[in-house]
Structure 1
Amino acid sequence: MPARKDTFAARIRKACILLRHDTMTYADISSTADLRSSAEEVKMRYTIADFVKSGEMVRIAPGVLRYVGKDDSGKITEKRRVMWRILKMRRTVTVEEMQEMAGASNKYALEWLSNLRRIGVVEKIPGKPASKPSKWRLVKDIAHMPADEEQAAKYREIRRQKKAVLGQVLDDIQAGINRARTVLEDDI
């Protein structure tokens, strides 16, 4: 199977990353991306305008730009927002409906609904007969989407574990230094 060809935007993005300058001009990007026609130059300007709108690039001065990178962190949050609006509107949903309407994966929709169930916002209604999918009903109508405490707790636990490991490593290093000192003192 042949390698997949990059999109034009991906080509421009790669050129910006390759430049690695604090600032760059359209000419810099054009030569790095190896653009060969004026039509490609125009397309590049439109692509860069899209990058500026999305926050991937910042315009410093007319014709002078800075590439700051692509931010993918908002995608999950946006899906969560869409799922919340669907739940508020429909009141009762299935995981499959969330998957279809919000574009979330089955696993992500189920995890999100389970988290809402844990904090008492929704309840799970088993499917009857058992072969039918379970439904999730909104039982606590609150104005704003609740914060994802599970995710925050997960990150706190990860930080705690890293801190414990780092503390152990530092203790081991200190013990090694103390052993080295005793060896040096014994040799003198």
Structure 2
Amino acid sequence: MNRRLLFPLALLPLLAACRSHEVLPPDQYNLSGTLYGDWGAGPRLRLALVGSGLPNVFTNNSAYAQNVVPSTGSAASRSFGFDLPSFPNLVGIYQVIAFDDGNNNAKYDIGETVARNRLWLIYSPTDTTTPAVNIPAQFPWAAGEEAIPSMSVKRGWNVYDRAQRLSDSNPMAASKITGYDIYR
């Protein structure tokens, strides 16, 4: 192959990686909600998708597109948006957590201030029945808890509210998730 042709082709991945990512209003992401609570002065708030793929492969990823915006009228609430991956690395159970990125490395590290809710995001490539799953030790704030009982889920993302009884509508399949509120 011609060298003059190879050089421009080699630059394509670099150019694609350098393009800017547009920051959207929170409701334009496929998961959105409100973050409530006091984070102190000048927090570096970020969101991360954390969870456990089956069988027990820990995920901690904050590299997805996101936006946290202070709400008007209250310093204790912020709107946020987060893009869930179309195909996460593994079938499993996940949560989007909020954290104060104290060391500014864009990744949740044990010891950083964190907040979460009682909603689990379950990803499945097919309609299926999941086994019961306990939270692994990598989640120090909830290790050993039953994350999900055995349940029927649909293909794609499903939302399971642990505060509610298992029913025909819990869990529910969702392509856009709103009201995923997180309290601190």
Fold shared per TM-score above 0.5: no
Q: Which has the larger radius of gyration?
A: 1
Larger RCO, structure (CA 8 Å, separation 6 or more)? 2
Query: TM-score under structure 1 normalisation?
Result: 0.19
Query: TM-score under structure 2 normalisation?
Result: 0.20
